[in-house]
Structure 1
């Protein structure tokens, strides 16, 4: 149960910090943090929670990561569904708190025809820079695959595990720096689900891509590391 709670709170923090920075701080004229600030915020959420609760649950905070770690031989498939449920619930809870806070400002409303509304992910007309479904799928697939390679490599028994959280957090920052203009960056089905539920409109029918592409990418990344990159145990 503690592992599930750790995943709930870790995913809550990821959505609250990352999406919260996009909703509240990114677009303030002259003082806003912009794309780079949001990218850093997402990286910091994972970095901080990796050290806070990573030793309890492994610090997934993302259904795609759980799939990738399972394929990479680092996670028991029996725990997959409970982890995903915990992650999705944590993300939705965070989105609910963000909505509650945002509702405290006069004139608040979500324009679900606008790209990135309530920090939701999208393609086509809902992509920040108008990227189509094919480009969005490739970006989410490739970036999640490399995210898993970084995670598996940084947490390998041959690596310096004390710095794993930093490497993983910076990798997520880089991923956002690349792909916020493309899809508003998912690489995390729980994060996409929570924001789409509150944004509504066409964000919901597009949610399939932000489950399928990250999970497939994570599976491929997990397999690449396990079968092509992972250092074998030496005899003796």
Structure 2
């Protein structure tokens, strides 16, 4: 059965999609059979992996374990498959709400995919939502990118409060610092000052780097195109932490 790893954030623009693409790519490089499920209607993960939006399954098929596999698309990268997204997925919340098992439908769909993969990585849309709750319940590990700012810190605690209030228990919850610019004093000081308040925050930093922004042009994960770049090495350190956490 596949391990389910979700990238999740209440706030957008925190490097979530770039992280999930590169982490999934690193697992594929290790020879594992990997699926990246793009559930974000923006479809950025699909774009990075050159999966055209029109190849995404219809929303109705997406929520059915028997038909969702028809939407699987191989990528140009060995061992890496994508289940693409597009803007039609904005309607998924309404479709989910109509289901009797509305809070667990994604978990059931994942059960139908898990036998064919070793790992399934999910790019979850930002915000607190029914879809997000589905993913949080289904994941063995939820990874939360935290930009070292007070606003991003606030959304971390919003997520923790939401989990407690709705009694949602992911297999494991962990955060990591994202888009870190060590030229800024706030970024340099954030990790040390907030480690006690955020014990789930791993001591891994993904630096801000223009090469990550250029992924949108090249449509190739940084860990493939610039393997020796510091940001690619940082993704590898994060991947190692994930790998240890799942053992």
- Please confirm whether the aligned pair reaches a TM-score higher than 0.5, indicating the same fold: no
Normalized per residue, the structure richer in strand is 2
TM-score (norm 2): 0.23
The TM-score with structure 1 as length reference comes to: 0.24
